[in-house]
Structure formats: structure tokens, C-alpha cells
Amino acid sequence: MAIVFREPNQVKWIGVRPGHNGEQILENDTAINVLTSIYVVPADKLLLLFAYDVSVYSGVAATGYFYIYDDTPAIFKSLAVRSVAAAGTDSSCQGLWVPIEIPAAYSLRIITSNAGCSIRVCIHGILIDA
């Protein structure tokens, strides 16, 4: 079991998150359908999401969405929305100063506005014992 120190006052961190003994998670997936699950946090684990990259490729006007779903499953948090007005590409990369804590059974999902749109998402995080 990993021991994680969680400082309640994040201002005291001064740019360094307390140590961990977790498993590094590097995942990427491309959705060409309407809904694709990228990663589901295993039972008794906590995912610390440090960074993500979202890219949308489309031959037509389209939008791609990157969400965290809770265990019901319903949208818990929107992480990114990328759009193209016509044929083209739109992308963004986000590093997180303080990682997002995602509990067990929550999932990271990508959604496209139509089947002609392709959205690619890469995530980087640490999986620790909850």
C-alpha cells in the first residue's frame, strides 16, 4: 500500500507534490465513433492525472470532448473541448500544476460530435492505492 501525504493547504507545496510509490499510467486512444472509454480507474486505486493532450482531426466541421465520468456513469468534469469549423486539426496539451485526483471506478472518456470526426487523447498520471 502506497503512503501518500496529502497537505490540506496546497499553497504550502511550493511547486512540488508530496511523494508517492505508484504505477505510472501512459494511455492513448483514438475515437472514431461517438463514445470511447480511454481508462477506468481500478477498484481501491486513485489516479493522479498530471497531463493530457487532446487532438481533433476531421474532414468536416466537428467537435471532440474529453470528460471524466463518475461511477453512475454521469459526466463528473469536462477537461477539454476541441473543435474544427471545416476540414482540419485542432489540438491542445495541458500539464497540471496540481494533479486531478480521480477515484476508483471513475473513467476518462472521449466523445465525438459525429462519426466523421477522429479525436485522439493521451494521458499521463500515477495510479496509487486509495
pLDDT one-digit tens code per residue, 5-55: 555 555 555 554 555 567 777 777 776 666 778 899 999 999 999 999 888
CATH number at residue 76: 2.60.120.20
Does the residue 49 lie in any domain?
yes
pLDDT one-digit tens code per residue, 85-123: 777 788 888 888 888 999 999 999 888 877 777 788 888
Does the residue 25 lie in any domain?
yes
Nearest to 55 by CA among 37, 77, 80, 85: 80
Does the residue 3 lie in any domain?
no
The answer to whether residues 87 and 60 touch, using CB atoms and an 8 Å cutoff, is: yes
Confidence of residue 1 (pLDDT cuts 50, 70, 90): very low
Q: Which residues contact 40 (CB under 8 A, 6 or more apart)?
A: 105, 106, 107, 108
Does the residue 7 lie in any domain?
no
How many domains in the chain?
Answer: 1
**pTM of this structure:** 0.76
Does the residue 33 lie in any domain?
yes
